[in-house]
């Protein structure tokens, strides 16, 4: 099936591989998994995902509503800073409402007290390759630091959230950190019903010790008598999405440069934020090209790659891992054509879910 580029392509078979691991962890450990919508909220594949996951978790009112309406099951709501209007609205959708600070909990407690309430804790430890994404960085605003004040809030709560990882694929590091959290907060956890260990745990990575991971979670849950929640984002959708593009021009400036009909700034923004190269599935080493986007940003570069053949106008280039923190960040910078969204279903058929046109661009402004 020919689809006009650029477009995002989600492959349900590849998605299923991650989901089956998530289900395995659930079966072995008892830990529930709720999809982190901040990472991936493309709801055209939620029918498949809800068969393997327990619900969604959000970072805003709109995400909470989306999770409630399009995914169903459990709806966890968290936000770094709620307004009163947000809290009133989110209470219509959420099973659990998690506050970032004690001040927000106390300010809105009377409004939301019928719900199961939680607080985010900053345990002072983290695993992140980037300071930008480190929740325990200096002067972090993310979560409660003061244990004494936290302990006073326990009667108001049913659970705590510890979100302290970012792309942590090191089981030994995770194990040590979980032990530290148990040592520091175990007495509080014994008085509560649930604990969320957040996201950022790359347990669907090839070779990750799933059985050891699951046993660690089960032991933690049993020791403190709590329901453990995980909040997989990347782990749920890693490897299942591509951004499909075509070359629109070839130029030379000390090296060959291919310009494609998409943009890092507009369509894979996370790469630009973290100064990462895109991934292209090629093991060739014959023809090197810098592949760049067509926005006016000088640094709109996907990376330098080796191709088996010389590129031509119209050559197709597919960028891998274009689902997590990618589709949620797409934007109309430069007014460039927004990639369509397509899904390769489990039966192999490709369905074009959404196309964008000038009207969408027009309506995003005023």
356 in a domain, yes or no? yes
170 in a domain, yes or no? yes
Between residues 46 and 132, which one has the greater pLDDT? 46
For residue 305, name the pLDDT band (cuts at 50, 70, 90).
very high
For the residues 185-212, what does the mean pLDDT come to?
A: 96
69 in a domain, yes or no? yes
For residue 210, name the pLDDT band (cuts at 50, 70, 90).
very high
Q: Using alpha carbons, list the distances in angstroms from residue 20 to 53, 176, 321, 325.
A: 10, 26, 19, 21
Distance of CA 155 to the CA centre of its chain: 31
What pLDDT, on the 0 to 100 scale, is given for residue 85? 97
Asked whether residue 68 carries a pLDDT value surpassing 90, the answer given is yes
For the residues 159-169, what does the mean pLDDT come to?
A: 92
Asked whether residue 303 carries a pLDDT value surpassing 80, the answer given is yes
Q: Specify whether 357 is located in the same domain as 225.
A: no
Asked whether residue 1 carries a pLDDT value surpassing 70, the answer given is no
What's the CATH number where 83 sits? 3.20.20.10
What pLDDT, on the 0 to 100 scale, is given for residue 285? 79
Q: How many domains does the chain have?
A: 2
34 in a domain, yes or no? yes
1 in a domain, yes or no? no
Which residues, 6+ apart, have CB-to-CB distance to 18 below 8 Å?
A: 204, 235, 236, 237, 238, 239, 240
Angle in degrees, CA 195, 197, 201, rounded to 5 = 160
Q: Specify whether 218 is located in the same domain as 256.
A: no
Q: Radius of gyration (Cα) for the chain, nearest Å?
A: 22
333 in a domain, yes or no? yes
Asked whether residue 264 carries a pLDDT value surpassing 70, the answer given is yes
d(CA 337, CA 330): 11
Q: Specify whether 290 is located in the same domain as 217.
A: no
Q: Specify whether 294 is located in the same domain as 223.
A: no
Q: Specify whether 224 is located in the same domain as 297.
A: no
Of all residues in the chain, the percent with pLDDT exceeding 70 is 99
Phi-psi region of 230 (alpha: psi -120 to 50; beta: other; left: phi over 0): beta
Q: Specify whether 187 is located in the same domain as 283.
A: no
Q: Specify whether 223 is located in the same domain as 292.
A: no
Of the three residues 202, 221, 237, the one that is the final residue of a domain is 237
Helices (H) and strands (E) in the chain, counts: 12, 17
Pairing of strands 316-320, 241-252: antiparallel
Q: At what angle do helices 12-29 and 210-224 cross, to 10 degrees?
A: 40
Helix or strand run (H / E) with residue 124 = none
Asked whether residue 128 carries a pLDDT value surpassing 90, the answer given is no
Is residue 6 within 8 Å of 262, Cβ to Cβ?
A: yes
For the residues 183-188, what does the mean pLDDT come to?
A: 96
d(CA 336, CA 333): 6
What's the CATH number where 298 sits? 2.40.37.10
Q: Specify whether 212 is located in the same domain as 268.
A: no
Within 52-170, residue ranges assigned H as helices are 61-66, 84-90, 102-112, 147-153
d(CA 338, CA 66): 21
For the residues 9-34, what does the mean pLDDT come to?
A: 98
150 in a domain, yes or no? yes
Of all residues in the chain, the percent with pLDDT exceeding 90 is 92
- Could you tell me the residue range of the domain that residue 306 belongs to? 240-363
Asked whether residue 129 carries a pLDDT value surpassing 90, the answer given is no
Q: Specify whether 217 is located in the same domain as 167.
A: yes
Q: Specify whether 228 is located in the same domain as 261.
A: no
For the residues 176-205, what does the mean pLDDT come to?
A: 96
Q: Specify whether 96 is located in the same domain as 165.
A: yes
What pLDDT, on the 0 to 100 scale, is given for residue 296? 97
**Average pLDDT over the chain, rounded to an integer:** 95
For the residues 122-145, what does the mean pLDDT come to?
A: 89
Distance of CA 216 to the CA centre of its chain: 23
**pLDDT tens per residue across span 326-366:** 999 999 999 999 999 999 999 999 999 999 999 999 999 99
What pLDDT, on the 0 to 100 scale, is given for residue 134? 83
Of the three residues 237, 257, 278, the one that is the final residue of a domain is 237
Of the three residues 237, 262, 279, the one that is the final residue of a domain is 237
Residue 59 corresponds to which tokens in the numbers above?
A: 């970072």
80 in a domain, yes or no? yes
Q: Specify whether 262 is located in the same domain as 247.
A: yes
For the residues 282-288, what does the mean pLDDT come to?
A: 82
């Amino acid at each position: 099936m020919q689809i006009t580029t650029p477009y995002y392509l989600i492959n349900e078979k590849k998605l299923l591989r991650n989901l089956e691991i998530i289900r395995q962890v659930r079966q072995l450990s008892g830990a529930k998994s709720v999809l982190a919508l901040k990472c991936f909220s493309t709801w055209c594949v939620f029918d498949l995902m809800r068969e393997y996951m327990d619900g969604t978790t959000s970072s805003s009112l709109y995400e909470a509503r989306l999770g409630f309406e399009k995914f169903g099951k459990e709806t966890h709501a968290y936000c770094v800073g709620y307004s009163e209007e947000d809290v009133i609205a989110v209470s219509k959708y959420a099973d659990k409402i998690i506050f970032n600070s004690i001040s927000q909990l106390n300010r809105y407690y009377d409004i939301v007290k019928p719900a199961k309430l939680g607080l985010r804790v900053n345990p002072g430890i983290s695993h992140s390759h980037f300071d930008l994404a480190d929740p325990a960085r200096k002067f972090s605003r993310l979560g409660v630091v003061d244990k004494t004040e936290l302990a006073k809030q326990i009667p108001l709560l049913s659970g705590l959230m510890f979100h302290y990882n970012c792309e942590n694929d090191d089981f030994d590091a995770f194990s040590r950190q979980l032990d530290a959290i148990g040592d520091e907060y175990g007495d509080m956890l014994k008085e509560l019903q649930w604990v969320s260990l957040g996201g950022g745990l790359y347990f669907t990575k090839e070779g990750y010790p799933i059985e050891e991971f699951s046993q660690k979670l089960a032991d933690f849950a049993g020791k403190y008598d709590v329901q453990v929640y995980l909040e997989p984002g990347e782990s749920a959708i890693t490897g299942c999405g591509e951004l499909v593009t075509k070359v629109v021009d070839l130029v030379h400036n000390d090296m060959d440069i291919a310009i494609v009909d998409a943009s890092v700034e507009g369509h894979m923004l996370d790469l630009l934020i973290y100064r990462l190269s895109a991934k292209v599935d090629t093991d060739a080493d014959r023809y090197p090209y810098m592949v760049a986007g067509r926005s006016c940003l000088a640094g709109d570069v996907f990376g330098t790659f080796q191709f088996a053949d010389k590129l031509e106008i119209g050559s197709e280039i597919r960028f891998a891992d274009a689902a997590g923190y990618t589709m949620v960040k797409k934007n109309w910078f430069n007014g460039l054509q927004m990639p369509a969204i397509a899904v390769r279903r489990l039966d192999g058929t490709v369905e074009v879910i959404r196309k964008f046109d000038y009207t969408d661009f027009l309506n995003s402004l005023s």
